[in-house]
Structure 1
Amino acid sequence: MLRSLLIGLSAGSRALTPLATVSEAARSGQLSDANPAVRLLAHPLFSAGSKALAAGELWGDKLKSAPDRIVPAGIAARLLAGGLSGAALAPRKHLLLGAALGAGAAVAASYVTFDARMRALRRWGQTSTGLVEDALTVGAAQWVVRGAK
């Protein structure tokens, strides 16, 4: 259940990167396919689509026109991505709890990471803070998924 919570926390800064990471782990057999969420995420179209969307999110975040992550659409994306990722990392009998932990952590972390990013942005600028946040999110998601089976 800890993995569900942690993947949700990483979804607070980038909604789609943790989802793409979990999807790739599901596709490559690193997660138990007894879990229905894993079967969905393992589908080749879902895996390819989530990676493309995550790449777009990583690129778009550096643009001045990028919306804040705490706007309703950003919160909704984090809620869904954190919930689905959390469900996939939970044991089958705790699927709903994993989804709730992932979704709740993603929403809470979105506000915390937004505040931290705004503070850092004033000092170091949009692109450099975004790149650091990207690296932290990718690394965290990879770390959480590693050995999850």
Structure 2
Amino acid sequence: MTEDQNGAAPQAPQVKMNVLTQYIRDMSFENILSRKPATGQVQPDVKVQVALDAKKRETGNQYEVLMKLTVTSNAKETAEPMFLLELEYVGLFNIEGVPDEQMHPFLLIECPRMLFPFVRRIVSDVTRDGGFPPLNLDTIDFVALYRAELQRRAAAQPAEQPLPN
């Protein structure tokens, strides 16, 4: 550890993150149940799939983070589909002070954490407006999601290597 002229250890650069804008890029909601209404009380089986992507923009320290959600609800007893919600939600961020080696996890963990409350609200409103009880998504563990994606990529990598002749 090096010390500056005053004898104090140098400080790491301070991380600055601003959400410049956020918006729905694409959304689709299908009320499948309305085509053939269910009789009696139906218990839903809801599944949520999350995919994340991030890329640097041409402007300075700006990054685009995409959160894709696919929410399916099927009747527990019959497995008949009830609804399908697909949502692509984008946040544009200005990020400074994050070391290059930490930028990838920062973009796919911290940025989605900032977007998630807005995504949760959209899902709740859309399902309610679609004729179902509002779906309040459970909190997503973006660290676990990131680690699982790294493991998936590591496992797939040897399979992608061509075999020598």
Q: Same fold (TM over 0.5)?
A: no
Query: Which has more radius of gyration?
Result: 2
TM-score range, shorter chain: 0.3 to 0.5
Q: Normalising by the residue count of structure 1, what TM-score does the alignment of the two structures yield?
A: 0.34
Q: Normalising by the residue count of structure 2, what TM-score does the alignment of the two structures yield?
A: 0.32
Judging by fraction of residues, say which structure has more helix: 1
Structure with higher RCO (Cα < 8 A, 6+ apart): 1
